[in-house]
Amino acid sequence: MKKMELLSHQHSSYSISFRRVLTNREKRKMKRLFVAAFSDTYVDMKQESKSNLHVMLGSIIEPHLQAVDRHFVLYREGRRRLVGFAILREVQLCSTYLSDGLDKLVAEMRLKSTPDLIDMAESLRKADAGLDNCFVEVCQFAVDRWRQMDHIGARMMSFIRQEFPDRPLQGMLRRTNAAGLKFYKKIGAKECDFVTPGYDSELYVGLRLESLQDERKRISEEASRQEEDSGASEKEEEEGRADAVLERQKGKARRNLNKGKMREQVV
């Protein structure tokens, strides 16, 4: 039997595993968790019935669960209870990624019979501006709606970054997902122009988190600069103290000289 858990982190109260293959039961659990976690973020669809909204959310995650090029991070508690997950995709080259996006856009245009080439070009331009040659796309990221203040997302993100230490993470989020935006910015993610081709940039915002390797390099460089600045300040202080000592010595010499002149005048 093929081993499905490639990497895992065990703790007394939770476990995080990195997977390439899922069981059907795990897929169903992930789908239920995703639908429950994101129902409140689609405020622009409040007029939709609850059942229709759930169907729409299910249709969003289903392709990711079935895709063969996705990686899965599962966060479990207690008796294997799933409380969080991430779906990832490794992107090697911009050209490959943009080609996939172009194919999707063209297919949509043919269905709608509205070949708007200007919008397509603009979408690709924005995507190209936000992509590196190699990065990890966070396709979906969800935490149980009742557990979103328990650092589960931060633990999963730390786990992902350690698995891909030399790759930045990029993804997108609905602008109405205030809690999600707050979380990503709290862990250091910055807004960028990354929006998957075919998605509306008015509804979605791109996010980027630098690689663990780049973060460590940046911190090291900042520490070196601080040491250099500190060393320069100490040198200036030493020079200042030396100048003060020299001035005191000069002042003392002048006073002694004046005293000698006064004695000569008295004599």
Q: Could you tell me if 179 and 261 lie in one domain?
A: no
- What is the CB neighbour count within 10 angstroms for residue 6? 12
- pLDDT value for 188: 92
- pLDDT value for 196: 73
Q: Could you tell me if 224 and 158 lie in one domain?
A: no
- In the chain, the number of structural domains is 2
Q: Which residue has the tokens 């293959």?
A: 21
Full residue range of the structural domain in which residue 59 is found: 5-217
List the single range of 83-97, 112-126, 142-156, 194-208 with lowest mean pLDDT: 112-126
Q: Could you tell me if 158 and 227 lie in one domain?
A: no
User: 199 exposed, middle or buried (CB, 10 Å; 0-12, 13-18, 19+)?
Assistant: middle
Q: Could you tell me if 170 and 237 lie in one domain?
A: no
Summarize the confidence of residues 8-13 as an average pLDDT.
Answer: 64
Angle CA(59)–CA(64)–CA(69) in degrees, nearest 5?
155
Q: Could you tell me if 41 and 117 lie in one domain?
A: yes
- Given pLDDT bands bounded at 50, 70 and 90, which one contains residue 266? low
Q: Which residue has the tokens 């991070």?
A: 73
Q: Could you tell me if 155 and 229 lie in one domain?
A: no
Top pLDDT among 39 and 86 is at: 86
- Given pLDDT bands bounded at 50, 70 and 90, which one contains residue 257? low
Q: Could you tell me if 48 and 112 lie in one domain?
A: yes
Which CATH number is 35's domain given?
3.40.630.30
List the single range of 63-67, 112-116, 144-148, 245-249 with lowest mean pLDDT: 112-116
Q: Could you tell me if 129 and 245 lie in one domain?
A: no
What is the C-alpha to C-alpha distance for residues 246 and 230, in angstroms, rounded to an integer? 24
**pLDDT beyond 90 at 124:** no
- Given pLDDT bands bounded at 50, 70 and 90, which one contains residue 6? very low
Q: Could you tell me if 92 and 168 lie in one domain?
A: yes
Instruction: Decide: 131 and 194 in contact? Cβ < 8 Å.
Output: yes
Top pLDDT among 36 and 228 is at: 36
**pLDDT beyond 80 at 165:** yes
**pLDDT beyond 50 at 5:** no
Nearest to 147 by CA among 84, 85, 86, 87: 84
- Given pLDDT bands bounded at 50, 70 and 90, which one contains residue 40? confident
Q: Could you tell me if 108 and 232 lie in one domain?
A: no
- pTM for the model stands at 0.67
Summarize the confidence of residues 107-131 as an average pLDDT.
Answer: 54
Q: Could you tell me if 188 and 243 lie in one domain?
A: no
Q: Could you tell me if 34 and 166 lie in one domain?
A: yes
Question: Percent of the chain at pLDDT above 90?
Answer: 28
**pLDDT beyond 50 at 39:** yes
**pLDDT beyond 70 at 8:** no
Q: What is the mean pLDDT of the chain?
A: 77
pLDDT tens across 190-242, in order? 998 777 767 788 888 999 999 988 888 888 888 888 887 776 666 777 766 76
pLDDT tens across 63-87, in order? 899 988 899 999 998 777 899 999 9
- Given pLDDT bands bounded at 50, 70 and 90, which one contains residue 23? very high
